[in-house]
Every structure is written in C-alpha cells, then in structure tokens.
C-alpha cells in the first residue's frame, strides 16, 4: 500500500496549465459500447505540467541603492530566468534531448526585511554564537595582499537553528510564505553589532565510521544552508518550508574558496565587505549581478527546480511497485569484515523517504573475488582495459562490461526493480585513487545501469563507510543530480562548479546527501519536491501511453469504471500539484496509473517493463555521476 495515500501537505496558490499533444480519445467505436470520454488523461498523448511558480527573495541587512554593497533591483532581476523546462540530463550527453514534462514560469517577489525583523534576526544570531578560533580560511584571507580588512574574531553559528528561526518567524513578521521557495540573502556586516562568523552543522556524523565532518573539517564551515524537511531526524523543521539562506557576511569559507581575493580558481563571490574593491582578481563591483547569479544558477537551477541526471522513470511503461538495492560486496581485504560498513536499516529508510511511492528494501551479499572478476577490477585500477577495443579501450567501462555480461549471477529477482550495486573493499589505501563511487549508465543511451562503491582503510580513516556512498549513488541512479551541477534551460547549458560557475559549489551547502559536503545523510525538501514532480509527470504520461493500447482495443468499454476512476485521480493529481502539494500529486498520479494498469489487465492488454539496449557508445567518466575524495572533498 502506498505510504502516502493518507498524507496531504499544505497548499499555496499556483497555476497549472496543461498541454496535451493528442486528443482525449481519438478512437471510434461505431456500433459498440464506447469507453468513457476522459477529461484529464489523454490516450497516447503527452501532458506537460506548466507551473507558474513564485520565488521569494528576501534581503536581510541589505539596502536598495546604487552603492557597491547595495541592491539594484533592476540589475538583480535582469539575471534571473523567466522559465524552465526540465530535461533528463545524461541522455542529452548522447544528443537525445528529452523533456520530462515538468516546466515552470517564475514570478519573483523581492522583499527587503524591515528593521524589526533584522533586529530580531541578528539579535538571535548573537545569542546562539559560540566563540571559536579563526577558521583556516579566515587565516588565509588575512594574508591576501589585496584584502579590504583583517578578520580578528570568529564565531560558530548553528545553521539548522538559523533555518528554524527563519521558518518560525518570517511569515508572521514580514508576511512572506516560506512554504513557497524562498531565498534569504543575508548581510550582517552592514550593522554595528556585526560579528565575524561561520555556520556549522555538527549533529550528523557518518553512520558507519562515526566521523563528524561538520565538527572536524575546516572545509565544512559554511556560508549557506537550507532545504531541511519537516521530519528530518536531527533537525526537522516540524512543518513544510522551502528555505535556503546565503550569507556573504559569513566566512569566508573553504568550500566555495571565496577567501581568495588575489587569485581564485574560478568565478567566486567574495565576502560582502570586498564589494567596491577593484584590486582583487576581478573588480568586485556588481553585487546585484553576483547575487542574481547565485539565485539563478544555484537556488533555482540546482536546488528548487532542478533537472534529473538520469530518467527517473524506472523500466517504463510497467513502473515498479517494489525496489530493491541489491548490494554485492567484493571482500578484497579478507582481514576486515566490510559488511559492517553497510547500515542496511538506514539505506532503505533514507531512499524510501525519496521513493515514497515505492517499497524499498536492501539485500547485502558477498560476491567471490576471483578469476575474471579480479582481473577486471585490476584492469579498472591500472586504467588498462581488459576488453581491448570493445568500449574503445576505455578501462573505466570495464566494471560495466563485466557485470553487464554476468548480471544474471548477481540479481535475485526479489523485487519489481533491482538497483545492482557492486561494492569493493580493498586492502590498499586509496586503491581506486580516492574514488568513492559512481552510478554508471548503459554506455549507449544515457540510461542508468549499475552502481559501484569503493572503500579501503584510508578512506575509512578519512571518515567514509559504504552507507552514505550507496545512498548517494542510488540517488543518482533514480535520477537525482548533485546540488553543485545541473542544467540551465534558457541558455541550454549543462554546468558544473568550475570556471564561470565555480560559485555553484555553494549549492552543496544544503541539507542533502546529494551534496559532497558530508554534513547529512538525508534527502532535502528540494529533493523530495523534485522527485514528486518527476513522479507525477511519469505516472500520468505512462498512463497515457498504456491508454493508447486500451482505447485501441474493442474491449475498452469493459474497463469503463476503472478508466473513469483513473481520470478522476489524474484530475486530483493536477489539483494537488497546483497547490504545491507535490507528494499528494504524485500519490494521485500513481493511483491513476494503477487504475490504468488494472484496466489493461482486465481486457488483456499486455504491459511490460522496458529492456535496456545492448549497443554501446564511447565516453569517459563524468563528474556528474562519478564521486570521489578529490580536492574538494579532501579539504581539511
């Protein structure tokens, strides 16, 4: 039974427009009993959910004006998108641009917080601050030749507590509904009570190793945070809010390297006090434009309304009810029991909160590491393919080729859909070069295939077990992107955190396991919203696809009651979607789809899962789905 059948979220006013490419029925039933005329579902058609979405932007501590540290509304708005169309990102890598049917037009509500709100907010920060030594990046900032000041003190401020305060007080104090997507741009530096500070999250150590990245790593002190769900086990907000705050008066931080004034690894956003400084690696003269970039490319493109990495429709048109994460562990190091690095309760719990309309389970078994399996792994490690030119000599594809050839040896057939996961625990430190895992595709169409995860004593000592990697990589497999790379529709750009988009690293400073920042093991409210929107579109459009065959059958009228019920659920899905009740929308869309499946079964219309194609296309590894302890994650 669907876990969300009785769960409904609060509503906000949003307009949903529906576009159908084909008429509602289109099949004549002369002289025969006709099936019902549908009002919402379209047999053989494609439905796009086009939502007029309000994005609140609240400036706290900023003033309107033309000064270097003021906000020019016109300049800020000029950089924001008017619309967005969601695509399946990885198939686009192969030249196949697939729109998902989840589209938006944006309305922006800009609000400058009043004095009462600012006094209360910054007063609260002052009460929860904890004095600490200067952070490593504050020390580094103090030796930048072209800096504007010296940082002389530092305070830690708990990020989840700040998000909770904003959730509790914004609506009553300034009338902004934070159940809508809301960005808070914060500037404490403008006030006489300013304190140099960083934000922290220290309540969620690694579930396998107990290593507390938030407490122990300098690089995990942040300038932004948000996306916490109502029911987060550590810091749940208690009710639904969609908040992300970004504070240029905090830090500077290591994650975005915004301490770098003289030279920088890419386009960074310096601390607020640097705006007006023309002697840095670039002139810091466009605060409004820079905040517009953060709002567009981070908050909107990567967090609020992002595109999936892979197609989130698993095995259409017969979508799964049960999903099993089938983990096969190669114990390369026989002296250590690596099964202790998998939390088989946590993995399905966290994935089940994202795949809320499926039943999620985990199966963990050891796989023999010998013979060809060992040879292929070693080829992968030394980067010389065991398969010659089969994948154009790309050794990174060897693990895919081996397991694709031997898949029947590993899957159990215990669920409608199995996510094949292959884990390697090696005795050699950083045997895979610091690689934690990757969610591979089929090397042909950009369709997801297998998940690979890696650990060894050095990675374990660095804080990493298998559980967080598996949750993260399976998150990719079912469609989730990183919050630091994504797609911008209006410029048709797939981007990551480098060059002109280096500042996109700030998307990691949010409450999602899809981040690299290792501060939590949950999916964010933004993740849940995005997945529920994808799911709504998928269920409705797969129902439409099946309906084409049903309405082509002379027996269609026999399933009339089921078809009417399906259409009613589809209408309810659209109503919930319009109210931003995305979980409710996905629930009703699934019920519509299940009614259509039942109708197909009643009149013997066959519906089967989709099989993978067997041809391959050359490609190399991509940071979109390959996750390692690289420079960013290895920062102290």
- 50 φ, ψ (degrees, to nearest 5): -110, 110
Alpha-carbon span 156 to 159, nearest angstrom: 9
Predicted local confidence at residue 217, as pLDDT: 96
pLDDT in tens, 548-566: 999 999 999 999 999 999 9
Closest CA to 467 of 411, 518, 404, 399: 518
- pTM of the predicted model as reported, rounded to 2 decimal places: 0.92
Q: Average pLDDT by consecutive 10-residue portion of the chain (636 residues)?
A: 35 36 45 87 97 98 97 98 98 95 98 98 98 98 98 98 98 98 98 98 98 97 98 97 98 97 98 98 98 98 98 94 97 95 98 96 96 96 96 96 93 90 96 95 95 97 97 98 98 98 98 97 97 98 98 96 98 98 98 98 90 34 55 64
Burial 476-500, CB ≥16 within 10 A → b, else e: bbbbbbbbbbbbbbeeeebbbbeee
Contact 424, 377 (CB under 8 A): yes
**pLDDT at 632 (0 to 100):** 64
Cα angle 30-32-33, degrees, rounded to a multiple of 5: 120
pLDDT for the residue numbered 629? 61
Place of tokens 């050839």: 405
Predicted pLDDT at 411: 84
Q: How much of the chain is in helix, strand and coil states, percent to nearest 5?
A: 35, 20, 50
Kindly compute the dihedral angle of the four CA atoms of residues 222, 224, 230, 231, in this order, to the nearest 10 degrees. Answer: -20
The helix or strand, by DSSP H or E, that contains position 376, with its residue range, turns out to be helix 371-382
- The secondary element (H helix, E strand) that includes residue 54 is strand 47-60
The answer for 485, left when phi > 0, alpha when psi is -120 to 50, beta otherwise, is: beta
How high is the pLDDT of residue 609?
A: 79
Instruction: Look at domain 322-478+624-628 and name its CATH class.
Output: alpha beta
Task: For the chain, give every domain's residue range.
Answer: 53-308, 322-478+624-628
Q: What pLDDT is recorded for position 628? A: 56
Report d(CA 242, CA 107) in Å as an integer.
16
Each as own residue / partner, the long-range contacts of residues 604-607 (CB below 8 Å, 24 or more positions apart, any chain) are 604/555, 605/546, 605/549, 605/550, 605/553, 607/317, 607/318, 607/546
Q: Are 49 and 103 in contact (CB under 8 A)?
A: yes
**β-pairing, 224-226 with 15-20?**
unpaired
**446 vs 442: CA distance, rounded Å:** 6
Q: How far apart are CA 585 and CA 580, in angstroms?
A: 8
Strand partners, 451: 421, 439
Question: Is the CB of residue 369 less than 8 Å from the CB of residue 332?
Answer: yes
**Rounded alpha-carbon distances, angstroms, from residue 379 to 375, 406, 417, 430, 534:** 6, 17, 30, 16, 38
Write out pLDDT tens, residues 53-77. Answer: 999 999 999 999 999 999 999 999 9
Both structure tokens of 457: 């004593």
DSSP letter string over 158-214?
EHHHHHHHHHHHHHHHH---TTSEEEEEE--TTSTT---EEEE--S---TTT---HH
Residue with tokens 């741009």: 185
Alpha carbon distance 497, 483 (integer Å)? 10
CA distance 523 to 519: 12
User: Which 8-state DSSP code applies to residue 108?
Assistant: E
């Amino acid at each position: 039974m669907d876990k969300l059948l009785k769960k409904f979220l609060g509503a906000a006013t949003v307009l949903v427009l529906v576009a159908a490419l084909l008429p509602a029925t289109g099949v004549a039933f002369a002289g025969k009993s006709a099936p019902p005329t549908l009002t919402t579902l379209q047999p053989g058609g494609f439905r796009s959910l086009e939502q007029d979405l309000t994005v609140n932007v609240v400036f706290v501590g900023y003033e309107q004006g033309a000064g270097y540290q003021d906000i020019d509304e016109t300049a800020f708005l000029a950089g924001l998108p008017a619309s967005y169309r969601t695509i399946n990102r990885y198939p686009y890598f192969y030249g196949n641009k697939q729109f998902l049917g989840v589209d938006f037009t944006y309305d922006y509500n800009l609000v400058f917080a009043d004095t009462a709100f600012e006094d209360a907010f910054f007063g609260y920060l002052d009460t929860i601050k904890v004095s600490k030594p200067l952070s490593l990046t504050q020390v580094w900032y103090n030796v930048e030749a072209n800096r504007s000041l010296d940082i002389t003190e530092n305070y830690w401020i708990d990020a989840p507590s700040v998000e909770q305060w904003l959730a509790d007080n914004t609506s009553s104090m300034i009338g902004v509904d934070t159940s809508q997507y809301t960005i808070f741009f914060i500037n404490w530096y403008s006030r006489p009570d300013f304190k140099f500070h960083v934000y922290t999250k220290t309540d969620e150590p690694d579930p396998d190793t107990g290593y507390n990245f938030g407490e122990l790593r300098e690089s995990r002190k942040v300038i932004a945070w948000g996306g916490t769900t109502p029911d987060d086990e550590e810091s749940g907000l208690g009710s639904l809010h969609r908040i992300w705050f970004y504070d240029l008066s905090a830090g500077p931080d290591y994650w975005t390297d915004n301490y770098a004034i003289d030279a920088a690894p890419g386009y960074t956003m310096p601390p607020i006090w640097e705006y007006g400084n023309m002697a840095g690696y670039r002139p810091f003269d466009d605060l409004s434009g820079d905040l517009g970039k953060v709002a567009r490319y981070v908050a909107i493109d990567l967090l609020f309304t992002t595109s999936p990495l892979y197609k989130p429709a698993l095995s259409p048109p017969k979508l799964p009810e049960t999903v099993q994460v089938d983990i096969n562990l190669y114990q390369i190091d026989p002296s250590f029991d690596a099964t202790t690095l998998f939390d088989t309760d946590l993995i399905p719990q966290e994935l089940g909160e994202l795949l809320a309309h499926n039943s999620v389970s985990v199966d963990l078994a050891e796989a023999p590491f010998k013979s060809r399996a060992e040879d292929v792994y070693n080829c992968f490690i030394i980067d010389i393919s065991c398969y010659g030119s089969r994948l154009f000599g790309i050794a990174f594809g060897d693990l895919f080729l081996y397991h694709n050839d031997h898949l029947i040896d590993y899957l159990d057939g215990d669920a409608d859909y199995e996510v094949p996961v292959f884990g390697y625990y090696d005795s050699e430190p950083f045997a895979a070069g610091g690689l934690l895992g990757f969610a591979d595709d089929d090397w042909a169409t950009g369709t997801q295939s297998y998940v690979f995860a890696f650990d060894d004593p050095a990675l374990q000592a660095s804080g990493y077990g298998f559980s967080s990697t598996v949750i993260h990589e399976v998150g990719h497999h079912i469609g989730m992107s990183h919050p630091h790379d994504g797609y911008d529709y209006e410029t048709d750009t797939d981007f990551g955190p480098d060059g002109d988009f280096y500042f996109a690293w700030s998307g990691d400073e949010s409450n999602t396991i899809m981040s690299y920042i290792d501060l939590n093991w949950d999916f964010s409210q933004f993740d849940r919203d995005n997945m529920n929107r994808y799911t709504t579109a998928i269920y409705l459009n797969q129902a439409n696809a099946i309906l084409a065959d049903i309405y082509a059958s002379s027996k269609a009228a026999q399933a009339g009651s089921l078809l009417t019920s399906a259409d009613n659920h589809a209408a309810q899905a659209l109503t919930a979607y319009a109210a931003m009740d995305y979980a409710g929308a996905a629930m009703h869309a699934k019920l519509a789809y299940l009614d259509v499946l039942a109708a197909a079964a009643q009149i013997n219309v066959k519906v089967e899962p989709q099989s993978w194609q067997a041809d391959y296309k050359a490609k190399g590894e991509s940071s979109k789905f390959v996750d390692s302890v690289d420079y960013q994650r290895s920062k102290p």
